[in-house]
Amino acid sequence: MEFRDTVDARQSIRDFDDRGVERAMLGRIIDAARQAPSSVNEQPWRFTVAQGDSRARLGAVVAQSTVHLSEYMDVLGPERYEAAVTWYSSLGQAPVLVAVSAPRSNVEFEAMNRHLSIGAAIENLLLAATNEGLGACNVTFSYWVKGDLADVLRLPESEEVVSIIALGHPSDVPPVSPPVKPDDTVWLD
């Protein structure tokens, strides 16, 4: 696939079929993520790939977020609330979850640089998954389950979870993507 075709094809997939993902394919996707640029070449990311029982345990912790989603009912509205509860409860049945973690930092500038670097790595991962014919969704999760996620992932105290990525073969359910915002680029001469 040509690069621009990959960029245009990438969507947040939220419904997966039951096929597993080959380890070699997962390796290529993670390797693409590891090639991302990072501030002072720190490469602050750690990827934990969960399948099978570990995926089930990790998914169960993320599903706890649904308990607290009622707090967002006023923001989401009833239609989006039900969709959010469904999504967080199953993560679209994705057979693979990739947890992205990083060293903790109390220094704002350092934390910002790490998160920007990790964002680049996640985008590489999402594009590599698309290029492999897979679907993925970068999952925002509730901070109140971060400790439980860290326990399941066996993270040391010095690290924190930054993101969870649902990954697998897309189902036949077409994704619903919001329109891309109009170009808001400012050109200066």
pLDDT for residue 174 is more than 90 = no
- The C-alpha atoms of residue 161 and residue 44 are separated, in whole angstroms, by 12
For residue 181, being part of any structural domain is answered with no
pTM for this one? Answer: 0.90
Q: Is residue 186 part of a domain?
A: no
pLDDT digits (tens, 9 = 90+) for 6-52: 998 999 999 999 999 999 999 999 999 999 999 999 999 999 999 99
* Tokens encoding 108: 């704002």
- Which CATH number is 137's domain given? 3.40.109.10
Q: For residue 175, is it within any domain?
A: no
Q: Is residue 184 part of a domain?
A: no
Let me know if residue 182 belongs to a domain: no
Q: Which domain holds residue 29?
A: 9-168
Q: What is the mean pLDDT of residues 113-122?
A: 97
The answer as to whether 174 is a domain residue is no
pLDDT in tens, 62-114: 888 766 666 666 666 777 777 777 778 889 999 999 999 999 999 999 999 99
SS3 180: coil
Residue 46 domain-assigned? yes
**Is 37 part of any domain?**
yes
- Helix residue ranges, H only, the chain: 3-9, 23-34, 52-63, 65-68, 73-90, 108-131, 146-153
Give the whole-angstrom CA distance, residue 117 versus residue 182.
26
Q: What's the whole-number average pLDDT of the chain?
A: 90
In terms of phi and psi (left: phi > 0; alpha: psi -120 to 50; beta: otherwise), the region of 175 is beta
Instruction: Tell me how many domains the chain contains.
Output: 1
Phi, psi of 150 (to 5 degrees): -60, -40
